[in-house]
Amino acid sequence: MNPDPRARALEHPAPVRRVQPMSQGSAMPGAVDRNRERPAGRPEPVAVLIGQLSQGGSERQLFMFLTHCDRTRWAPVVYVSGELGFWEEQISALGIPIRLLTGSRLAKMYQFRAACAAQGARYFFSWSSYTNPFGLALLGMDVWRIGSFRNAQFADLPAFLRSAWAWASLSAVSLAVCNSQETYDEIALRKAERPRLVYVPNGVEPPTNDEIAVWRATWRARLGIGDDVVLVVGVGRLARQKRFDRFIQVIERVRKNVPVVAVVAGKDFGSLQDLERQVAQSDLNGVLRFIGTVPDARELISAGDILLLSSDHEGMSNVVLEAMSASVPPVVTRVNAVADLIEQGKTGFIADHDADDLARHVVRLARDCGLRRDIGERARSAVMLRYGSRAIAHQLWALCDVRNNGA
């Protein structure tokens, strides 16, 4: 697979359709629609639901999952409950149809049930805990419902009535994929409304050494940074949970010990003005830059010497996986799944949610290029061994066969 999904383009990409609400007199599709004979050898229809197709880590995981689909066995259709975005073009270029659900949440569930009946889907993949409740719309339709949980403590569910959301997210699916051991263990402790659980981590498409070298040179030239300058990179939307205020505090502390520069890439969700004010007050103008969204964060990460993740909470962080795959040592707060990814002091550093603790590890790496190289190489080897996107995607698609095998 070409490591840059933007390079994948077919002459006639699949069009996006908006699923229109059914009229009030239309019959709700039910089990009778599920029992039609399917010609032998025809790929099985699969409904895949995601909240949006913006430029995010979960969306990249979906793209890799679809890229490695055996199309002789499965015929996926992607349903979007929120907004289209960056990944729409990439998924359409794979020849996979995209359907946008419209209206209220109840209307979207009604549309989804009708669309799955028309598609003849016997398998449903929900890509997040907040889309899992759509599985309730498929009750009585003989659909194998696979859900996803990408954050511990249901952190990606709405705060208002979160316990009710959690109940619906758990009750709506037959089997749930947890992408961290922490999330798996937390849900396994629940004694009620718990589906069958499996642990499948996120995957990554490691760049080649040549790609890393080209991306590093290109981005450093674009940023005006020499190869001998230690560059600390942060990637993520500028939102409260990402705690880029803490990122700034870390760089301020590190600069008292060793010269570094820093760059942060990500869309502003209302925090940029306050962060830029903090940069000025910390006397970091010209040292730390916010550069907005970038076409492919992996390329920017490859230009870095250290990845710094300062979040309060995460799912299984894709940027950490991508940094490790590019031989960039990560320094991260103790968030969900990092203990699955990082061997402390060997493939990266895990710190408390504290600027001083994070800064201590960044200073150590910034002062020692040999340590950066050794940790980066071990991190890349570990990721390539355990988290290749093809193998992870095959594990996910095999969950359809759990139903077929009656396991």
pLDDT in tens, 105-139: 999 999 999 999 999 999 999 999 999 999 999 99
Rounded to whole angstroms, the Cα distance separating 129 from 209 reads: 36
Band of residue 290 on the pLDDT scale cut at 50, 70, 90? very high
The winner for highest mean pLDDT among 6-10, 14-18, 210-214, 400-404 is 210-214
pTM confidence score? 0.85
The pLDDT assigned to 218 comes to 98
What would the pLDDT profile of 333-352 be if each residue is shown by its tens digit? Answer: 998 888 889 999 999 999 99
Mean pLDDT, rounded, for 91-114: 97
**For residue 224, pLDDT beyond 70:** yes
CA dist 199 → 99, 178, 193, 335 (Å): 28, 5, 18, 17
The pLDDT of residue 90 is: 95
Per CATH, which fold does 209-386 belong to? Rossmann fold (3.40.50)
Strands 74-80 and 144-149: unpaired
User: What pLDDT score does 161 carry?
Assistant: 83
Reading the block at residue 253, the tokens are 């502390």
Domain boundaries for CATH 3.40.50.2000 within the chain: 5-203+389-404, 209-386
User: Residue 44's pLDDT is what?
Assistant: 96
286: left (phi over 0), alpha (psi -120 to 50) or beta: left
Provide the percentage of residues in the chain whose pLDDT is more than 90.
75
Rounded distance, CA 312 to CA 324, Å? 20
From the list 401, 402, 307, 316, the residue with the least C-alpha distance to 362 is: 307
When pLDDT is averaged across residues 186-211 and rounded to a whole number, the result is 89
CA atoms within 13 A on the CB side of 368: 13
Q: Which CATH superfamily is domain 5-203+389-404 in?
A: Glycogen Phosphorylase B; (3.40.50.2000)
What is the band of 157 on the pLDDT scale with cuts at 50, 70, 90? confident
